[in-house]
Amino acid sequence: GQTSAPGGAGAGGATKGAGERPEKIVVEGLRKSFGDNEVLTGIDLTVKEREVVAIIGPSGSGKSTFLRCLNRLEDPTGGSIVIDGADLSGRKVKIDEVRQRIGMVFQHFNLFPHMTVLENIMLAPTQLGKCSANEAEQRARTLLDRVGLAEKADAKPASLSGGQKQRVAIARALAMEPEVMLFDEATSALDPEMVGEVLQVIRDLAENGMTMILVTHEMGFAREVSNRTIFMDGGVIVEAGTPEEIFGDPQSERLKDFLAKVL
């Protein structure tokens, strides 16, 4: 970014404690257009193993499009994305394999309504032949326990609260044993009293060393849980730094304006 704070928006930007860790995600010059509308106009970002990056920014700034490009739910129009050494734009890359290594959780939970909670979590690992049905069930139960929903294994999604559904969605993403987790406004569709239980699950993942990119409008959470916070506006990274820098010492007028509105 042109006005990046110390800490750096660009490739190789320093993050507290992440110095020697391998690079997990390297994005260079990422562009994405929808027709004439260029939504991402050149994103550079390197995320190291075990790093937690929070992305904040106004609605329409391209945050979701950026995450969707990382998972190849959208095809970028330019630039490169390398995940764990595999170039997603390379001809030889198997997108399905890469996608299995990247879990994604959305604002709306997208659980399959006709399946039980357990079946939702077991579906991808069994369908993709990752493991036997027995193993998948064991792992699903362990994950349900981890998100505090062991007793809901046989429930249908419709009987769950929003917070419970989102915790199931997180367990389902974890069932593929991803190396990276992407969260797109995972708490924005929740009633306020359910936000905390979902943030707690994300916090646990961070403490256990999961590499994560979180798009969030929970500023307090971004500040608490991220190693690095990125401010996007108009399809670019305007400013990036430690959460202390971004929230405590914003440099650009755009970030100052944004924080004045949301804090």
Binding site for Mg ion (CB under 5 A): 64
Interface segment toward ligand ADP; rule CB under 6 A; list 34-42, 104-112, 170-178, 216-224: 34-42
Contact between 241 and 29 (Cβ < 8 Å): no
**Residue 63 binding ligand ADP, by CB under 6 A:** yes
Contact region with ligand ADP (CB under 6 A), list: 6-14, 61-69, 198-206, 240-248: 61-69
Least Å from the CB of residue 64 to Mg ion: 3
Query: What sign does the dihedral 257-259-262-263 (CA atoms) show?
Result: negative
Out of 2, 19, 59, 208, the only residue in the binding site for ligand ADP (CB under 6 A) is 59
Given the rule CB under 6 A, which of 57-65, 96-104, 127-135, 158-166 is the region that contacts ligand ADP?
Answer: 57-65
| Among residues 4, 15, 46, 64, the one that binds ligand ADP under rule CB under 6 A | 64
Q: Does 61 interact with ligand ADP (rule: CB under 6 A)? A: yes
First to last CA, the chain: 23
| 222/55 Cα distance (integer angstroms) | 8
SS3 state at 172: helix
For residues 193, 196, 201 and 207, what is the CA-based torsion angle, rounded to 10 degrees? 180
Q: Tell me the residue type at 123.
A: L
Three-class secondary structure of residue 10 per DSSP: coil
Tokens of 102: 């990247």
Q: 3-state class of 246 per DSSP?
A: helix
For ligand ADP, which is the closer residue by CB, 34 or 112? 34
Write down the least CB distance from residue 73 to Mg ion, Å. Answer: 12
140 contributes a contact to ligand ADP by CB under 6 A: no
Positions that interact with ligand ADP (CB under 6 A): 34, 37, 39, 57, 59-65
